[in-house]
Structure 1
Amino acid sequence: MQSLNISSSALRGIQYALDNTANNMANLETAGYKRRAASFSELLADSMNEQPALDRENRNSPVGLRMGSGARLGMTKLDMAQGSMKPTDVPTDLMIQGEGFFMVGSQMRDANGVMKEEFLMTRNGNFHLEHNNYFNGFVLVAPTGHILLGENGSPIVIGEDEIRDFEVSEDGYIAANGNPTFERIGLWKSDNPDQLKQIGENLYDPELQEGQDPADVFTSSWDNMIATIRQGALEASNVNMQEEMSQLVNIQRAYQLNSRAIGISDQMMSIATSIRTR
């Protein structure tokens, strides 16, 4: 019976690992995507020490028979390795070279109809310029519709009637039509990226409170000089197809092994049941 529990728990963990690998492979071409690596942990184990006599041979392992309960998927760790550069020559495409996230925001209504601000983080720098009547100027908008925020946590507004020339320096300052806007893009570093809640569309929820300054929670990448911005390029996904395919083969073999173990355990239980009924 214990073998069935061990194999069934392993199959559940393997299924989660397969879903994680499939998600990585599906985002192979997603700009700024960071892969997740699955890691397993052992469940509770018991030791049977009621032996009639001690082993005559010397042994390095503890006395007794160790009985495990299987394994489970412990966590999927976010891999923050830098992705390769993908030149696009589009002025509004921005790539982070180093550590940090863009902060984007939007206004949304909750279930009670109250307008609230939403703050999210992303590594996808595929922005475009869009005129916003509410801010009376141009803003940089992400593919999800969120507006790029500056280092003060407010939307970056370019007060020009028309933008013919758009430039972003390596240290994040924006210039339009040859005139500096004195706006700086905010880049924020999380000490533990695994604490960020992944909500889909390559976005992470920092779970900031209403009106909370990002500087109270995160470290500015500009202060520590750990990041620069490359204009006219995007950061490719850091998923390695060869590595993911190798992981897929390992998952398949582990699934076959545990499926066979369940089949053998079922046969053994059938034999034991038939013997008792005779």
Structure 2
Amino acid sequence: MLNSLYSGITGMKGQQTKMDVIANNIANVNTTGFKSQRVRFQDMISQMDTNAQGPNNNGRGGINAQQVGLGTQVSGTDMMMQGGSLQFTGRALDFGIQNGDSSFFIVSQDGNPAGTMQYTRDGGFYTDFAGNLTTSNGSRVMGIAINPPQPEGINTDIADNQVLQPLSIPQEVNDSQLQAYNIDNTGTIIGTYSDGNAYVIGRVALANFANADGLEKAGENLYNASANSGDPIEGGPTDDGYGTIRSGFTEMSNVDLATEFTEMIVTTRAYQANSRSITTSDEMLQELINLKR
């Protein structure tokens, strides 16, 4: 009978974890590029009361094993990597990745090409006073830098032997001043200068993963590669499997509130049911104690 008490506890703990995940999903319903999570459960080992027996030579049939489960445990918290809807902003430095659920922008906290890279679906970028292309937390956006900038029309495809560099938009090229700039659907940064010419400044890079579900959340809309995500494979927008960049859009959270509220109801009832199994077991123990009277 004591096993039922502990089984109820494992159920309550598991449902509490699920409620934590649901609450986090709902809290991030407006977080740019957020990927919701789900909780999956598995049963624990079972107590063996009677081993299974096969049929014998006396004509007697086999007997199945008799087992009693000892509760449940969380088997995983999966990330749902489906792309969120793109929301129009009209802002020149807002970018959403379309048709590339396993693709991410590449950023670096210190802009060191040999340092540790992080990955994000949050394409709300900024430029600082020096023209550096950054995320909202100041990390440098990485890509293929064309240095010095070249007239529009050169080949800017990302090749395997090219090293990622932090991207920036120079204020001056060939003694002419920057007038305007834009980033097209291929991620190419094109600046227009006071001499009337358009120059290719660089190209935003993307990283693809064999198992994007294996990435680890690092906060600030960033992900770290893990032992199970596979190594990042750099490419560019419109490359096969990388999707395209939509300028003037940001990716919304993929949290479905209807699903989350439904799961919240189910989780609440499951938690209540597990707590009831504990109180019922307690009542049975009380009846056993009362036998002495």
Asked if 1:29 corresponds to 2:14, the answer is no
Map of 1:107 onto structure 2: 110
Asked if 1:198 corresponds to 2:217, the answer is yes
Map of 2:186 onto structure 1: 171
Which residues in structure 2 correspond to 1:23-172 (within 5 Å)?
A: 23-49=24-50, 63-99=64-100, 100-107=103-110, 117-132=115-130, 138-150=131-143, 152-161=163-172, 163-172=178-187
Asked if 1:268 corresponds to 2:284, the answer is yes
Map of 1:112 onto structure 2: none
SS at match of 2:21: helix
Q: Could you tell me whether the CA contact under 8 Å between 2:108 and 2:140 is conserved in 1?
A: yes
Q: Percent identity?
A: 28
**Cα distance in 1 between the residues matched to 2:273 and 2:241:** 49
User: RMSD of the alignment, in Å?
Assistant: 2.5
Q: Tell me which moved more, 219-228 or 69-78.
A: 219-228
TM-score (norm 2): 0.78
The aligned length equals 250
**Cα distance in 1 between the residues matched to 2:253 and 2:41:** 24
Question: One-letter code of the match for 1:42?
Answer: D
Listed one character per residue, the Cα deviations across residues 160-203 of structure 1 (whole Å, up to 9, x for unaligned) are 24654221121211112263334111111121223222121211
- Shift of the 157–270 alpha-carbon distance from structure 1 to 2, 3 Å rule, reads same
Q: Could you tell me whether the CA contact under 8 Å between 1:158 and 1:181 is conserved in 2?
A: no
**Cα distance in 2 between the residues matched to 1:67 and 1:102:** 49
Q: Where do 5+ consecutive residues of structure 1 fail to align?
A: 55-60, 109-115, 133-137, 209-215
Map of 1:58 onto structure 2: none
**Cα distance in 2 between the residues matched to 1:123 and 1:85:** 11
- Shift of the 252–163 alpha-carbon distance from structure 1 to 2, 3 Å rule, reads farther
**Cα distance in 2 between the residues matched to 1:163 and 1:30:** 33
Listed one character per residue, the Cα deviations across residues 57-103 of structure 1 (whole Å, up to 9, x for unaligned) are xxxx9713221111111111111111111000000001111220111
**Cα distance in 2 between the residues matched to 1:81 and 1:273:** 55
Map of 2:273 onto structure 1: 257
Larger radius of gyration: 2
Listed one character per residue, the Cα deviations across residues 27-58 of structure 1 (whole Å, up to 9, x for unaligned) are 1111111111111111111332279xx9xxxx
Structure 1 stretches of at least 4 aligned residues deviating more than 4 Å after TM superposition: none
TM-score (norm 1): 0.82
Asked if 1:12 corresponds to 2:6, the answer is no
Listed one character per residue, the Cα deviations across residues 86-144 of structure 1 (whole Å, up to 9, x for unaligned) are 00000000111122011111129xxxxxxx94421110011111133xxxxx1221112
**Cα distance in 1 between the residues matched to 2:242 and 2:109:** 27
